[in-house]
Amino acid sequence: MRWSQMHVPTLRDDPAEADAAGHRLLLRAGYVRRLAAGHYSLLPLAVRVRAKIMAIVRSEMDAMGAQEMLLPALHPAEPWRRSGRWELMGQEMFRLHDRRGADHALGMTHEEIFATVAREIGSYRRLPQQWYQFQTKFRDEPRPKGGLMRTREFTMKDAYSFDLDRDGLDASFAAYHAAYTRIFERLGIPALPVEASSGTMGGAGSTEFMCPAEVGEDLIVHSPACGYAANVERATSRLPEADDGPGLAAPEPFDTPGVRTIGDLAAGFGAQAAADRQIKTLVYVLDGRLTLVLLRGDHALNEQKLVDATGAAELRPAHPDEIKESLGAFPGSLGAVGVTGPPVLADEALRGRRAMVTGANIDDVHLRGVDVERDIAVGTWADLREVAAGEPCVRCGEPLLVERAIEVGHIFKLGDRYARALGAEVLGPDGERVPLVMGSYGIGIERAMATIVEVHHDDRGIVWPVAVAPFTVAVVLAQPGDAEVTAAGESLYAALGAAGVEVVIDDRDERAGVKFRDAELTGIPYRVTVGRRGLADGTAEITARATGDTVKAPLDEVVARLR
Ligand code: ATP
Ligand code: MG
Ligand code: MG
Ligand code: MG
């Protein structure tokens, strides 16, 4: 590749609209351009990085025996109606009509469609099956932001496992878990597997791969001491085991009429939102006092409601500013309302302890002994975060860290819900037809790209790990008008290319300083500078982007050093 012929529109200054490095630098270094909020064009350098990321993901999928397919991006409504998700997906699903008036959707995920293909597997003898694709997903995100981090169309590698039973699913899930660990290592993303909630996917459990970063939109709780890690939506205390006596989940009489569970409380935020499980709950027991944080999911209908700060059990409409204030320092797209109550846990296992408990299913968490009328007060997320950061958690008795993180991947144990709905059955060992047990496994490709930049950059620009860099080497002609420099540079460029090194030659008629700046900004791992001074003693300079270290190398050794 010749820089003089590539479209790499680098900018001299930081674009005003972008804060996060993964957004700012991809714009500034000429990788992406914004068409509209949530819609980005990928320019040549970005396409090369995307291809590298996809190749790494593909090689790990192939290594575990998964088969690549490509299913449609535009779906008839029917399979979505059969699974019940035509309604459940709400406004996040792009919907359209064809010329006959039939309903269609742009695929936001593909469980239903893969289950349709799986109807033909036939016999249990052909299980397990592992299938995957790279496909554009469309999601009408309420708040697209951060360049490639959250867009309304993006490439996902989504994979699906089909097994005869739950044990089979466990094995498939473990295989993807291991593959994801390798993928993120190879991509240079320090992702942490965390317990997560399954959202609209449903199913028995899920694990998110989370890259700690200030710009992340999720919060994770983890304890480096014992390896415990969970999304705050999901973080669990050591809930009392059966023989510990009744725990949080045990139903008991309640002091407040009409309020039996957190679900009941949340229902006040809007029946629809609660039914859709879009209200997520975090419960914190602090010095024997219960702190409740209700997190509003993306589709919650009612920014307009707030638990009455004065203690009324009913919810009342609140002014948006009032909500903002009470949300305090809670950043990101979710709202939070804190409710502090008196001791609620009669059981000895948790009395006086500090514990963090959440329920993805809001009805799983029961309130006991709460006098909502008397004691409800508004707390802030910041309070909770501060306290949580300094406290041992019952899970491993070590301090927990609460950190912002980027969700780069998510794997789900789905069970047989989709197979039942779509009729994906096989003949089992007993000759009976049995529904397939499924898992699904997703990685956002462009989000991974932005995350790598977020993790690998400095004040001069991007610092790509070699494995995903658009080119490994940039040969810079320091004086492009000089025939000797050009000849030496061109022959190095040809030799590197012949040796299989991905190389670009910066043959532009520009000052060396401009070329150095662009090579650094775009993050190419090695720069080979060919200039008059070096040629005088038969050398070129090799500069490593990550360290800035420069070494002189005899011209005929350059290729060997970079191969
Ligand atoms: P988020 O919580 O960030 O909205 P999600 O939980 O909705 O993500 P999944 O349905 O689990 O996403 O999809 C699998 C992966 O797809 C995510 O882990 C992420 O890497 C990627 N992804 C999801 N939504 C987007 C988006 N709007 N833009 C870019 N990548 C996305
Ligand atoms: Mg989402
Ligand atoms: Mg998520
Ligand atoms: Mg997810």
ipTM of this model? Answer: 0.99
From ligand 2's centre to the CA of 427, what distance in Å? 36
Which atom from ligand 1 is nearest to the alpha carbon of 412? 11
pTM: 0.77
Residue 197 is predicted with a pLDDT of 72
> How far apart (Å, rounded) are the C-alpha atoms in residues 122 and 388?
51
Which atom from ligand 1 is nearest to the alpha carbon of 209? 18
- Asked if residue 154 has its Cβ within 6 Å of ligand 1, the reply is yes
Alpha helices in 296-401 (DSSP H): 320-327, 372-375, 381-390
Residue 241 is predicted with a pLDDT of 29
> How far apart (Å, rounded) are the C-alpha atoms in residues 48 and 71?
24
> How far apart (Å, rounded) are the C-alpha atoms in residues 273 and 359?
16
Q: β-strands 457-458, 461-462: how paired? A: antiparallel
Q: Give, as one character, the DSSP assignment of residue 239.
A: P
Residue by residue, DSSP assigns 280-301 as EEEEEEETTEEEEEEEE-TT-S
CB neighbour list of residue 496: distance below 8 Å, 6 or more residues apart = 473, 475, 503, 528, 558, 559, 562
> How far apart (Å, rounded) are the C-alpha atoms in residues 101 and 294?
40
Q: Minimal CA–CA distance to 235: which of 210, 266, 252?
A: 210
> How far apart (Å, rounded) are the C-alpha atoms in residues 156 and 137?
7
Environment class of residue 528 by beta-carbon count within 10 Å: exposed (0-12), middle (13-18) or buried (19+)?
buried
Residue 398 is predicted with a pLDDT of 57
Residue 377 is predicted with a pLDDT of 31
Q: How many CB atoms lie within 10 A of CB 353?
A: 18
> Which residue minimizes the CA distance to atom 31 of ligand 1?
444
The SS3 assignment for 375 reads helix
- Asked if residue 454 has its Cβ within 6 Å of ligand 1, the reply is no
The answer to whether residues 282 and 232 touch, using CB atoms and an 8 Å cutoff, is yes
Environment class of residue 242 by beta-carbon count within 10 Å: exposed (0-12), middle (13-18) or buried (19+)?
exposed
Residue 475 is predicted with a pLDDT of 98
Sign of the CA dihedral running 396, 398, 399, 401: negative
Q: Minimal CA–CA distance to 26: which of 408, 466, 470?
A: 470
Q: Which of 85, 132, 180, 447 to mutate to test the pocket of ligand 1 (most atoms within 8 A of CB)?
A: 447
> How far apart (Å, rounded) are the C-alpha atoms in residues 165 and 419?
12
Q: How many CB atoms lie within 10 A of CB 196?
A: 24
Structural tokens at position 65 = 């025996």
Strand order in the sheet with 103-106: 74-76, 103-106, 95-97
> How far apart (Å, rounded) are the C-alpha atoms in residues 380 and 399?
21
Rounded to whole angstroms, what are the CA distances from 308 to 48, 246, 341?
A: 53, 30, 13
CB neighbour list of residue 207: distance below 8 Å, 6 or more residues apart = 177, 193, 194, 195, 196, 410, 411
Q: Which of 410, 414, 440, 446 to mutate to test the pocket of ligand 1 (most atoms within 8 A of CB)?
A: 410
Helices (H) and strands (E) in the chain, counts: 17, 31
- Asked if residue 110 has its Cβ within 6 Å of ligand 1, the reply is no
Alpha helices in 119-201 (DSSP H): 166-187
Residue position matching structure tokens 């030496």: 488
Q: Minimal CA–CA distance to 438: which of 173, 252, 233, 78?
A: 173
- Return per-residue pLDDT of the chain as tens, 563 residues: 999 999 999 999 999 888 899 999 999 999 999 999 999 999 999 999 999 999 999 999 999 999 999 999 999 999 999 999 999 999 999 999 999 999 999 999 999 999 999 999 999 999 999 999 999 999 999 989 879 999 999 999 999 999 999 999 999 999 999 999 999 999 999 999 998 877 677 667 889 999 999 999 888 877 777 777 777 665 533 222 222 222 222 223 233 344 444 445 444 444 444 444 444 444 433 333 344 444 433 222 222 232 322 222 233 333 334 333 333 322 221 223 333 222 222 222 222 222 223 222 333 333 333 333 333 333 333 333 444 444 338 345 555 677 889 999 999 999 999 999 999 999 999 999 999 999 999 999 999 999 999 999 999 999 999 999 999 999 999 999 999 999 999 999 999 999 999 999 999 999 999 999 999 999 999 999 999 999 999 999 999 999 999 999 999 999 999 98
Structural tokens at position 263 = 């679900």
Environment class of residue 517 by beta-carbon count within 10 Å: exposed (0-12), middle (13-18) or buried (19+)?
middle
- Asked if residue 107 has its Cβ within 6 Å of ligand 1, the reply is no
Residue 97 is predicted with a pLDDT of 97
Residue position matching structure tokens 């052909």: 126
Chain mean pLDDT for the chain: 77
- Asked if residue 156 has its Cβ within 6 Å of ligand 1, the reply is yes
- Asked if residue 146 has its Cβ within 6 Å of ligand 1, the reply is no
Rounded to whole angstroms, what are the CA distances from 29 to 214, 283, 460, 470, 510?
A: 22, 44, 10, 12, 17
> How far apart (Å, rounded) are the C-alpha atoms in residues 188 and 467?
8
- Asked if residue 299 has its Cβ within 6 Å of ligand 1, the reply is no
The answer to whether residues 72 and 65 touch, using CB atoms and an 8 Å cutoff, is no
Which atom from ligand 1 is nearest to the alpha carbon of 408? 20
SS3 content of the chain, % helix, strand, coil (to 5): 35, 30, 35
The SS3 assignment for 32 reads strand
Residue 21 is predicted with a pLDDT of 95
Is the peptide bond between 342 and the residue preceding it cis, with omega within 30 degrees of 0?
A: no
- Amino acid in the structure at residue 124: Y
CB neighbour list of residue 343: distance below 8 Å, 6 or more residues apart = 288, 289, 290, 351, 369
The answer to whether residues 124 and 426 touch, using CB atoms and an 8 Å cutoff, is yes
Closest-approaching ligand to the CA atom of 447:
1
φ, ψ for residue 482 (rounded to 5)? Answer: -90, 120
User: How many residues are present in the chain?
Assistant: 563
Closest-approaching ligand to the CA atom of 152:
1
- Asked if residue 151 has its Cβ within 6 Å of ligand 1, the reply is yes
Residue 232 is predicted with a pLDDT of 67
Environment class of residue 298 by beta-carbon count within 10 Å: exposed (0-12), middle (13-18) or buried (19+)?
middle
Nearest 5 degrees, angle CA 363-CA 293-CA 343?
A: 80
Q: β-strands 473-477, 526-530: how paired? A: parallel
> Which residue minimizes the CA distance to atom 3 of ligand 1?
407
> How far apart (Å, rounded) are the C-alpha atoms in residues 437 and 441?
14
Q: β-strands 129-138, 67-68: how paired? A: parallel
> Which residue minimizes the CA distance to atom 27 of ligand 1?
150
- Asked if residue 147 has its Cβ within 6 Å of ligand 1, the reply is no
From ligand 4's centre to the CA of 351, what distance in Å? 34
Element (H, E) at 446: helix 445-455
